[in-house]
Structure 1
Amino acid sequence: MRTPSVYIAEELMPYLRARVAENLYREGMKQSQIAEYLGITQAMVSKYLSGRYKRPPAEVAAKLDSIADEIVKVILFGGNRSEVIVLTARRLFELFQSGFLCRFYADYSGVSEDACRSMFSVQRDRGEVLEVLNLALGELTRLEGFPSLIPEVRSNFAYALSSPRGPEDVAAVPGRITTARGRMFALPPEFGASSFTAGILVEVGRIRPEIRSVLNIRYGGDIEEVLESVGFKVARVKTGGLSEEEAVKAIAAVFESGTYDTVVDEGGLGVEPLTYIFGRDPFEVVDKLRRLVRALEKAE
């Protein structure tokens, strides 16, 4: 049976792997390293670099080239193999969800385009959550002063569906938000891209359903000095020594006594102190961050 997974394996992956291999090789990566990231043999990498691979229709190739560029960026910015696999699977799934690949899959499998679209239908509210978070992320990238607030564990920005049941109902930034050469770098938001940050929103949503977005930044004396001056209601926890599940519940539990703008996690042994900024939606979170950045600038 020519299922979508078979179509991906036979028609899309050879070209996609080849394009990633070519781009990484141009960046100076060794064939053995490329093989490890792609989960193939060095001989196969050599074959791809020689141009011996199947090429899809031009329209499909253009989409795969874009995905290859994203994958290469993730690898060059230190992403691991697991992150590469997740990104690849999600991007290909999105091409089916949008209906773009259905025409080509229909020609390959004999299944109608309508049948293909029904297999990959997506809820409208999920699209809206992704759109809002992506727009707010764009505002975040233009906010001067934010890169200096990204912690060592990196930042993540998340937005949940109403009444999220699990991390799969929370959109976040794959691989988190990081900096390179003084500039912020972030992939487009996706559902299921976070476990810890998403877990916090799931737990908070059970207590305060109106709180659906969060961003984590670093913590320090400078931030401590301006938190209350900007009028934020602040709660504090200390998650050092706790498991991830326990830490998530500890951060969310503060909302049982009220609604807070920020939660300071003082960390502990092996746990970096962090500041979590909460809001009803991503734009509210960015607005709060903007107030914090301005206060920090004035305090300098």
Structure 2
Amino acid sequence: MKTPALYIAEELMPFLRAKLAEFLYSGGMTQAEIGEYLGLTQAMVSKYLAGKYRSPPGPVAERLIAIAEEGARFILYGGSKEDAIVLISRRLVELLQSGFLCKYYAEYAGISEEACRSIYSVQRHRGEVLEELALALRRLLEIGGFGKLIPEVRSNFAYALNTPSSNGDVAAVPGRITVVKGKPFALPPEFGVSNFTAGLLVEIGKIRPEVRSVLNIRAGGDVEAALKRAGMKAVRVKTGGLPEEEAIRRIAEVFRDAPHDAVVDEGGHGVEPMVYLFGEGPFDVVDKLRKLVEALENEKAE
């Protein structure tokens, strides 16, 4: 009997461990440290770094690489082994919950896709979303230079449940992120405390369900140039003068043709120009913000 747990262990984990090893090694960890963290022998780490592993189908490999990159960032940021295991396990379960892996698991196990979907029909628990967003928020507030990117209307950082149906399915920062005594400050995330950013994730989720997190920052020529230097895909829209619901739909529609890292809203009369950074999860968004800050600082240094 080939259960989902066996599928993950046999078909996904060897490739995922290999990619984790690659990202951690490029991030400065030694083979011995990687082996201790991942529970592998140094010989196995060396084998993985030499590219000696079997790859899953292309679409699956892409998702696993994204999970490995997020997990490696978390580890390199100082996350504990226990929390790293929880984070990566959740990401793997999400791939089954969303139905993405059901095609591949069904072929492996010899069952129907419908049977797979029935196993993982329960949405991720709200407490887990709050926990992950809170941790990512702490990382965000520690980034030097973030405070200078907070707009006049202040920033918000949001993270949605899988397939959110309303703003109540989106966690965000109550009162938004502001600057206190020269430093960014935020209250712990809660559900149902955001309208616009939550509405964006609900609407975009209908088009790109993998996009579940967003952070808004100030706009400006320097920010747009930095986005380009950082290699991020950005698209421009204009919502000035539109009702809130229509503005949300206008931004969400740009995801119909292709995914984007950022959307630059030109604003308009009474509407502050804004940049929205999007990602599959909050750590993905934090990483993009970090790259943006680095690009801005490098430009000043030149």
CA distance in 2, matches of 1:226, 1:169: 32
Distance 1:225 1:284 in 2: 20
Alignment of structure 1 residues 246-285 onto 2, 5 Å = 246-285=246-285
Corresponding letter in the other structure for 1:215 = L
Shift of 1:223: 0.7
Deviation string, structure 1 residues 240-277 (Cα, Å, up to 9, x no partner): 00011111111111000110000000001111000000
1:177 aligns with 2:186: no
- Distance in 1 of aligned mates of 2:199 and 2:124: 22
Amino acid at match of 2:287: D
CA distance in structure 1 between the partners assigned to 2:157 and 2:226 by the alignment: 22
Partner of 1:294: 294
CA distance in 1, matches of 2:255, 2:214: 13
Structure 2 Cα separation of the partners of residues 228 and 294 of structure 1: 12
Q: Which amino acid aligns with 1:189?
A: P
Q: Which residue of 1 aligns with 2:74?
A: none
Equivalenced residues, count = 178
Q: Which residue of 2 aligns with 1:17?
A: none
Specify the code of the residue in structure 2 equivalent to 1:209: P
The aligned amino acid for 1:135 is: L
Pairs within 5 Å for 1:93-108: none
Confirm or deny: 8 A CA contact 2:201 2:213 kept in the other structure. Answer: yes
Q: Percent identity?
A: 66
How far did residue 226 of structure 1 move? 1.4
Distance in structure 2 (CA, Å) of the matches to 1:291 and 1:131: 24
1:175-203 deviation per Cα after TM superposition (whole angstroms, max 9, x unaligned): 10000220111110000010111000000
8 Å CA contact 2:124–2:162 kept in 1: the answer is no
Segments of 4+ moved more than 4 angstroms: none
Cα separation, 1, equivalents of 2:147 and 2:177: 9
Q: Which amino acid aligns with 1:197?
A: T
TM-score normalised to structure 1 length:
0.59
Superposed, which structure 2 residues align to 1:63-212 within 5 Å?
125-212=125-212
Where does 1:12-23 land on structure 2 (aligned, <5 Å)?
none
Question: Aligned pair in 2 of structure 1 residues 229, 124: CA closer, same or farther (>3 Å)?
Answer: closer
Residue 115 of structure 1 aligns with which residue?
Answer: none
Task: Specify the alignment match of 1:63 in structure 2.
Answer: none
Q: Please list every run of 5 or more consecutive structure 2 residues that lacks an aligned counterpart in the other structure.
A: 1-122
In 2, Cα distance between the equivalents of 1:140 and 1:159?
14
Aligned to 1:236: 236
Q: Deviations over 1:47-88 (max 9, x none)?
A: xxxxxxxxxxxxxxxxxxxxxxxxxxxxxxxxxxxxxxxxxx
Hey, what's the Cα distance between the residues in 1 that align with 2:211 and 2:224?
A: 23
Taking the aligned partners of 1:124 and 1:272, their CA distance within structure 2 comes to 34
Bigger Rg over Cα: 1
* Rounded Cα–Cα distance in structure 2 between residues aligned with 1:197 and 1:124: 20
Query: What residue ranges of structure 1 are gaps of 5+ in the alignment?
Result: 1-122
CA RMSD in angstroms, aligned pairs only: 0.9
Deviation at 1:124, TM superposition (A): 6.1
Please give the TM-score of this superposition, normalised by the length of structure 2: 0.58
d(CA) in 2 for partners of 1:228, 1:183: 27
Amino acid in the other structure paired with 2:160: A
